[in-house]
Chains A and B, each alone.
Chain A
């Protein structure tokens, strides 16, 4: 069975601080996908990144960066110089190789960025 753990339920930071959201996963599959989504109060799930299990390169996109470490089954997400607009619930998710849409989600981390 697959499992995703986001140990941080809520995080509060002040604008311009850096913040890291943790994600640890469990799977017996050797190939899989990992995702991060952002869900603002409006409700829409916004896709942020997809990572294949065989690609351990870290990725940076603007203020966002992701650290994938297969050895520790972690896929952490860092926001640099946080902004108020980053306030949202962030979900980490895991899916098997054959069905990218059937994802197991973590419980989410609510990030509040205060001005």
Chain B
């Protein structure tokens, strides 16, 4: 079982809806990530949080709004999405962002949330 939990697993939303994707980990990790993955494509990084602060925003449209309320939770708020935003959204976490040589800095991914925008 994955140690990164994402809810909901499936979400269908209209273009005028407001919804949120949630991600939770209890491994004490201080870096958390959102990735977007279209069918038959590799994951694309969207946001990175480090110690609850936004560290990287990969020029993501403002209709996607991340939030990290505490070290265990990461949300992705969705508003006024387009059909082309339909994808698998993956959350991930790691101990931190540094490239230290210790072996523990593995990145763990959740099972993802399948989003369909209609």
Chain A contacts to B: CB under 8 angstroms? 31, 33, 35, 37, 42-47, 50, 52, 91, 93, 96-103, 105-108
Interface segment, one of B64-72, B78-86, B96-104:
B96-104
B114: chain A residues within 8 A (beta carbon): 43
Are B99 and A43 within 8 A (Cβ)?
A: no
B105 with A100: CB separation less than 8 A: yes
Residues in B lying within 8 Å of A, measured CB to CB: 2, 31, 33, 40-43, 45, 48, 56, 88, 90, 92, 94, 97-99, 101, 105-112, 114
- Are A52 and B101 closer than 8 Å at their CB atoms? yes
Give chain B nearest CB distance to A91 CB in angstroms. Answer: 6
Which residues of chain B have C-beta atoms less than 8 A from A50's C-beta?
105-106
Separation in Å of the A89 CB from the closest CB of chain B? Answer: 8
- Asked whether B108 lies within 8 Å of A47 as measured between CB atoms, the reply is yes
A105 and B105: CB pair below 8 A? Answer: no
Residues of the A chain whose Cβ atoms lie less than 8 Å from the Cβ of B108: 47
Q: Check A33 against B99 for contact (C-beta < 8 Å).
A: yes
Ranked nearest first, the 3 interchain pairs of A and B with the lowest CB-CB distance are A105-B42, A97-B99, A45-B109
Known: A52-B101, A102-B48. A43 touches B56 (CB 8 A): no
Q: Which residues of A contact B41 (CB under 8 A)?
A: 107-108
- Are B94 and A105 closer than 8 Å at their CB atoms? no
B70 to chain A, nearest CB (A): 19
> Which residues on B sit within 8 Å (CB–CB) of A101?
31, 33, 45, 48, 92, 94, 97, 107
